[in-house]
Amino acid sequence: MALPAGTQVYGQDLPPTQYDQDWTVILNIVGTGYVPGTPEVGVNFTAPTSGRVLVTIGAGVRNNAATGERAIVTFQVFQDNANGPAVVGASFNSGVVSAGVAVAQEFHYIGTFKMVQNLTPGRNYYARVVHRTSSITVAPGTADIASRDICVIPLT
């Protein structure tokens, strides 16, 4: 819901921004299904009055061999915690992806943005980074991650 014109804005309308990051290197990603990895990079946040937040995702990604594999890093949002109902599923289109050229690459560091809408104002949610590889062409996989970060910013 939008803040009605002319009303005063209170602190609870714009709760704190939350951020988490980790630079544990994850080599040779083996799964084509999304996993949070170790350690898990995630934040608990309170939905603002608008029910809208901006989620930013960043990662260092590469493919370490001359294969067509790609590292895909995106996010999920749950009510309350990772055991709660998923309100935003992991989507390729909401994340970052390594270069997608079939040559060995250095890590490159990229980010992207997605608005999440229709959250219940004042409710607690949990957002976390998840990743997968696009395919396994050379076992155990040649897609790598050097770092991951997530930021959830309340919007109006």
Partner 1 sequence: MPDIKIGEHVGTEWWPAAVENEQTADLTVTSTTAIPGTPVCEVSFQTPRTGRIGVCVAGNWTQASAGNRLFVTFEVYEGASAAGTLKRSARAHMGASGHGHTATALESGHGAMQMVEALTPNVNHYARIVFWTEGGTTNVLTHRRIIVFPMP
Interface ranges with partner 1 (CB under 8 A): 2-9, 13-14, 50, 52, 54, 56, 68, 70, 72, 92-103, 108, 110-115, 117, 134, 155-156
Report in angstroms how near the CB of residue 114 gets to partner 1 at its nearest.
Answer: 7
With respect to partner 1, which residue has the nearer C-beta, 35 or 54? 54
Q: Which residue is it, tokens 């980010």?
A: 111
Burial call 13-24: b when 16+ CB within 10 Å, e when fewer: bbbeebebebee
With respect to partner 1, which residue has the nearer C-beta, 37 or 95? 95
Q: Which of 134, 127, 132 is nearest to 40 (CA)?
A: 127
Alpha carbons 90 and 142: distance in angstroms, whole number: 21
With respect to partner 1, which residue has the nearer C-beta, 13 or 22? 13
Report in angstroms how near the CB of residue 2 gets to partner 1 at its nearest.
Answer: 5
